Amino acid sequence: MATRIVVLGGGFGGMYTARALRRRFGRKAEIEVINAQNYFVFQPLLPEVAGGSITPAHAVSPLRFVLDGVFVRKAVVDSVDFERKVVTVFQGIQRRPTEVPYDHLVIALGQGTDFSRMPGLEEHALKMKTLEDARRLRGHIIEQLEHAQVTELPDTKRGALTFTVVGGGFSGVETVGEMKEMIDRSLRFYPKIDPSEVRVQLIEFAPRILNEMPEPLADYAVRHLERHGIEIKLRTGVKSATHRQLVTSDGEVIDTRTIVATIGNAPLPVVQRMGLPLDKGRIPVDRTLRVAGHENVWALGDCALIPLKEGASERTDFAPPTAQFAVREAKRIAANIAAAVRGRELKPFAYASRGALASLGAKRGVATVFGHNITGFPAWFIWRSYYLALLPGIGTRIRVMINWSLDMLGARSLVQLKFYEKPPLRYVYYRAGDRIYNAGDRSDGFYTVISGSVEMERPDPETGETALRVIGPGGHFGERLILGATRRKTTVRAREDCKVLVMNREEFLMLAEGFSAFREYFRPYMEKRGVTLPGGDEDLGR
């Protein structure tokens, strides 16, 4: 029976691991990639998507196209049973749970964000993690320019034309540079905006930006950004944020409608649910990239803490979370899995960085290549050439190259496209007999019956008998979502033609916090289950 290798994640680590495994095993192994999207995102190009120099479609490649011979499953990973060697995923429109068995498991899920220590940042900051984040940022910048063009209110115009990026690493520096270039090249189409009214700033808590690069290059980057009108605030953190202001750790209040946060890396909830030990928010692995205590579980990329030498303790003793390292880690994992399957000795991951690159916008960059520092246009040209070569697929490379060429010849597009998103509060209609959800399905909403009725089947865990409950207008079901559950415990079907109101968990909790009557109605039900709703007696005037 062929060895089954399952890769969780379709980013740099996951995609390149699957490709390397296919080359190692050919058709002698079943290789599967599980990813929430059916495409690979080329993360280094997200700032260029946000800045409009390339279109969103050119920063992604279909996984099925670049992973020939690999089974791609578009699904959301829910949990891993390491004893049974099974991954449980939610897939399809109904989000049915499906178990995927494996012989070897590779975890390459990347990282999420955590802004909990900075009130308001989660609610009001734009992120730069996904393709949707970059697309949203571009549309947001255009919206601010459009609003500033027509508003008659000076304070509104000031806030709209103040753009703030938090975080002076690669992502933050490249994002702020691309934002400024897009704004500068667009202002001629907005005659009522004077260039002097635009304020773009970069906030960094550390003493300097680009800590991963030599200090002379960081100094050059600061000079270039400041020369192009970008304010640099060092040794400055974020205290809080609102939809119109950002308060720094120094107490400065900045009127801004645009906050881009490139900080706050944290393990994804699914990684936390796995029960694996975490160190600095990452999964510790040994030098062969194998997770401690698991002979057949491996991890790489942003979600893994990878030592580069024995007894690693300092920050520089571990592999940085960059595409350059992820590609090499993928090759080593594939080689070690092949060695493990064939009973051979595993080899440690060893790689010395060939350098680092950063684009600063306005056709300038900084680079350190094989110990040589390069600045200006040559560094920017090397940056583009390197990432162009790294893009998967000749077709993608040609399209990006054409985009870059056209971008140098004319103005950037200011078209603002809107994409449909399922509203968090919505009506859904069901015909009699329609299944609303089954026991075991993913919890995806809180339901209130508007008209008609539904029937709920709940099995008794002790007797095994099924209790039937009919819920009519005004009744509700799906409360386990509010408790933080990811799985349904009951089966619900439409008893007759009915109309229901569906609400996501976040919206439920927001209503509970802001609407006292709503909160008081559900308080007894939730308190029976040990859940404290947001808001207290002081909100009720008691």
State pLDDT tens for residues 122-157.
888 999 999 999 999 999 999 999 999 999 989 999
Higher pLDDT, 236 or 508: 236
> Residue 120 CB: number of other CB atoms within 10 A?
18
pLDDT at residue number 423: 81
- Lowest average pLDDT, out of 172-176, 211-215, 302-306, goes to 211-215
Q: What interhelical angle do 516-528 and 505-514 show, nearest 10? A: 120
**Does residue 542 have a pLDDT over 50?**
no
Q: State yes or no: pLDDT of 170 exceeds 90.
A: yes
Q: Report the pLDDT averaged over residues 84-113.
A: 91
- In this prediction, residue 539 has a pLDDT band, given cuts at 50, 70 and 90, of very low
Question: What is each CA distance from 475 to 193, 334, 478, 485, 501, in whole angstroms?
Answer: 53, 53, 11, 20, 11
CB burial class (10 A; 0-12, 13-18, 19+) of residue 290?
buried
At 435-462, the pLDDT tens digits run 888 888 877 788 999 999 999 998 877 7
Q: What are phi and psi of 380, to 5 degrees?
A: -65, -40
**Helix count (H) and strand count (E) of the chain?**
14, 33
Mean pLDDT, rounded, of the chain: 89
pLDDT at 524 over 90: no
Measuring CA to CA, which residue among 459, 329, 414 is closest to residue 9? 329
pLDDT surpassing 70 at residue 400:
yes
Q: Decide if pLDDT at 352 tops 70.
A: yes
* 3-state secondary structure (DSSP) of residue 106: strand
List, in sequence order, every residue forming a beta bridge with 477; answer none if it has no partner. 447
| Residue 412 · residue 361 · CB < 8 Å | no
Given a contact cutoff of 8 angstroms between Cβ atoms, the answer to whether 468 and 515 are in contact is no
Amino acid residing at 287: R
Tokens, residue 70:
């690999």
Residue 185 is predicted with a pLDDT of 92
Instruction: Evaluate if residue 248 carries a pLDDT over 60.
Output: yes
* Residue 418 exposed, middle or buried by CB count within 10 Å (0-12, 13-18, 19+): exposed
Q: Which of 216-225, 388-397, 403-412, 448-457 has the lowest mean pLDDT?
A: 403-412
Query: Could you read off the pLDDT of 361-392 as tens digits, one per residue?
Result: 889 999 999 889 999 999 999 999 988 888 88
This prediction has a pTM of: 0.83
In angstroms, rounded to a whole number, what is the distance separating the alpha carbons of residues 192 and 183? 14
Give the mean pLDDT of 208-224: 94
What confidence tier does 540 reach under pLDDT thresholds 50, 70, 90? Answer: very low
Beta strand 364-369 pairing with 372-376: antiparallel
pLDDT for res 339: 96
* pLDDT at residue 94, as a whole number: 61
Torsion region of 491: left, alpha or beta (phi above 0 gives left; psi -120 to 50 gives alpha): beta
Residue type, 400: V
**What average pLDDT does range 316-339 have in this prediction?**
94
Average pLDDT of 237-265?
Answer: 92
**Is the confidence at residue 261, as pLDDT, over 90?**
yes
For 121, the 3-state DSSP assignment is helix
pLDDT at 212 over 60: yes
**pLDDT category, 537, cuts 50, 70, 90?**
very low
d(CA 298, CA 338): 13
pLDDT of residue 531: 60
Asked if residue 296 lies in contact with residue 103, where contact means CB atoms within 8 angstroms, the answer is yes
Task: Give the pLDDT band of residue 505 (cuts 50, 70, 90).
Answer: confident
Helix (H, G, I), strand (E, B) or coil at 4: strand
